[in-house]
């Protein structure tokens, strides 16, 4: 019950965000903040109104750092950034140091059973610029609902999941998999992208 109340209060706090402020990307995308990655993606950035999957070998490989430029830019405008039941308590000074306005960063605590519902509601609401969730056990039907919700809310949705799900089909508009390197730093490989074929080149970004 507490999750429902907190979520209703969060969505009541803001009802509209103005897309595209500060972004250097087409109207249907939002710049990733990494020029090399923007060049790889057919839409020139994160697809807006869509779900993006980040497939990870483990937590903490740089996934939040990858998103940080976008989240910072959105929060400094009119955007609200929401974290749905993160596996670790966010370290506020690090987010602030990354440029995120903490006044526009919101955390929704929820049990696994409620987290998918909260994720979907935030995406659909039209009140959020970006929503990040960790739907580890979501099936194809649940992911499809998240994709539709992101489209309805014109929101950036990010689903952080174990890379073992890479072998499964997904309705997400964009899928990036982090592949650790042996002698070289790891890299993000585009496994699926709306609007074109996945590029053969990987995005080797070593920030954490």
pLDDT for 192-208, tens place per residue? 998 777 777 777 655 55
The residue ranking higher by pLDDT, 136 or 172, is 172
Distance CA 45, CA 35 (A): 9
- Given this model, what pLDDT does residue 112 score? 84
Report the CATH architecture of 2-193. 3-Layer(aba) Sandwich (3.40)
pLDDT for 28-80, tens place per residue? 899 999 999 999 898 899 999 999 999 999 999 999 999 999 999 999 998 89
Name the nearest CA neighbour of 25 among 37, 13, 9, 12: 37
Give the predicted TM-score (pTM) of the model: 0.85
SS3 readout for the chain:
CHHHHHHHHHHHCCCCCCCCCCCCCCCCEECCCCHHHHHHCCCCCEECCEEEEEEECCCCCCHHHHHHHHHHHHHHCCCCEEEECCCCCCCHHHHHHCCCCHHHEEEECCCHHHHHHHHHHHHHCCCCCEEEECCCCCCHHHHHHHHHHHHHHCCEEEEEEEHHHHHCCCCCCEEEEEECCCCCCCEEEEEEECCCCCCCCCECCCCC
Q: What ranges do the domains of the chain cover? A: 2-193
- Report whether pLDDT(5) > 70: no
Cβ atoms of 95 and 86 within 8 Å: the answer is: no
């Amino acid at each position: 019950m507490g999750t429902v109340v907190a979520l209703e209060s969060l969505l009541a706090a803001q009802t509209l965000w103005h897309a595209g402020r500060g972004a250097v990307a087409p109207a249907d995308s939002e710049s990733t903040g990494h020029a090399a990655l923007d060049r790889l993606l057919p839409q020139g950035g994160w697809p807006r109104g869509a779900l993006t999957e980040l497939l990870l070998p483990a937590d903490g490989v740089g996934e939040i750092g990858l998103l940080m430029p976008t989240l910072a830019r959105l929060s400094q405008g009119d955007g609200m950034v929401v974290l749905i039941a993160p596996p670790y308590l966010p370290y506020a000074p690090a987010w602030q140091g990354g440029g995120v306005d903490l006044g526009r960063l919101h955390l929704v605590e929820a049990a696994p059973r409620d987290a998918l519902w909260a994720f979907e509601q935030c995406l659909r609401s039209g009140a959020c610029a970006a929503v990040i969730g960790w739907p580890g056990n979501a099936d194809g039907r649940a992911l499809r609902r998240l994709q539709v919700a992101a489209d309805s809310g014109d929101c950036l949705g990010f689903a952080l999941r174990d890379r073992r799900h890479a072998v499964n089909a997904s309705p997400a508009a964009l899928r990036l998999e982090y592949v650790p390197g042996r002698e070289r730093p790891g890299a993000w490989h585009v496994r699926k992208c709306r609007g074109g074929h996945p590029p053969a080149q990987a995005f080797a970004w070593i920030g954490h």
